[in-house]
Structures are given as structure tokens and as C-alpha cells.
Amino acid sequence: MFAFLGFCKYFNGKAIANKTVKKMNDFVIRLALKDKLATEYTNIHQTRILDEFGIKHGAARIDVIVINNILHGFEIKSGKDTLRRLKSQAQIYSAVLNKVTLVVDIKHLDKAIKIIPKWWGVVTVEKRNNSFIKFTQIRKEKSNPQIDILSVVKLLWRNEALDLLEKIDKAKGYRSKPRKVIYKRVSELYDFEQIQEKVVSQIKSRANWRLAET
């Protein structure tokens, strides 16, 4: 098991945000994280920052996601959380997200970093002097080398995926099909770059992104 200070030094860890706080839990960490991200992305056009973004039709929800030209998810594990679900969450997130950062209480660091893929970023979170949340970057995220194109298509609602077939006159015979059939057809007719662009654009345009389609 590595020592945190040595690991932080190796990756040239640095404090990246501070937030006044009386007690630290998922909710408070999320507010502080979103505040930091909002500042970081304030000058980047058409960026959306969303809470609890559903993946695999709600099988998992990543705590915070930044959407611009890519999908960058942030999964929070506070000191009150366990890491029981982290392995399965990592598998689901890694199928669709371009980048992922784990925001983890320092007490979970040693164990958590053994569970997640090496391309995930890692940021520790701790309370300092009973008044601040301190985020420290331990490892910078890299681009996901294993995105699954069909899983990305499944981020769309059924009507959104069908619309992609309509746009290229390939919807005939699919309008009454179940969504899994439509998703598969879309993944066959569009290349990854096209799907990435269209999925990101569609998600950003949703007025009520958390509402299930009817």
C-alpha cells in the first residue's frame, strides 16, 4: 500500500479548490465540486454541468458530468460511502464516457485506486481546519481507450435514436421496433465520431434531461 504523501508528490499533486464547510458529505462535496467546475468552464461555450447523469438506462448514475464536446464524468466517494459498487460503476462508466475522474475521500484512496482503470483521474477530498474542503489532484485523467459505440448510442432516448435513422432515410421498418433494435441499427450506420457528436449535442439540447421518455 503506497503512502499518500509520496503518491501525491510523484504526481505533482496540487490543491485545485477550497470550499468553506461545517460537515463533509456527498451533498456538500458535490456543491463544492460543481462550484469549481463552473468556474473552470465559465468561458467554454455551450458547456453543461449536470447532476446524477443516468447511464445504461439508469443502471448507474454518475454524480456529476461535464458535457461540451466530450463527456467527462465525476464520481464522488465520501468518507461515509463504501466502495462496494465502485467496480461495477467503473465498468459501466468506462463503456461510454470519454473521461472520468474519481473524487474520493482520502481515507479510501489506497483501496479505490486499485479498483478503477489507470486512465481515470483521481482527486482526493478532505476537510481541513474544520472549515474547508480541499480537493487535491493525484492523477490527471486520460482519454478513454475502450469506449463502446453501442453503449454510447444507448445514452439516447428511443425517439432521439429513431430520429437519427429518419435523417438518413433509414427509419423504414424500424419505427415500431424496440429501442435495442433501433440502437443497434444506429451503431451500424454511423461511425464513432458522428455518434459522439450527435449524442453530445442531443444531451445538451434536452430541456428535461432527467425525465424518462414516454
Least confident of 46-50, 135-139, 180-184, 195-199: 46-50
Percent of the chain at pLDDT exceeding 70: 85
| Residue 209 binned pLDDT confidence (cut-offs 50, 70, 90) | low
| Residue 19 binned pLDDT confidence (cut-offs 50, 70, 90) | low
Contact present, 96 and 50 (Cβ < 8 Å): no
Q: Provide the angle, in degrees to the nearest 10, between the axes of the packed helices 158-167 and 179-189.
A: 40
Q: What is the mean pLDDT of residues 26-52?
A: 89
Which positions ≥6 away from 79 have C-beta within 8 Å?
Answer: 24, 105, 107, 108
Amino acid type, 207 = A
Higher pLDDT, 42 or 211: 42
- Which domains are present in the chain? 4-139 (3.40.1350), 149-205 (no CATH)
| Residue 2 binned pLDDT confidence (cut-offs 50, 70, 90) | very low
Query: Rounded to an integer, what distance in angstroms lies between the CA atom of residue 140 and that of residue 203?
Result: 25
Q: What is the mean pLDDT of the chain?
A: 86
Q: Tell me, rounded to whole angstroms, the distance of Cα 29 from its chain centroid.
A: 16
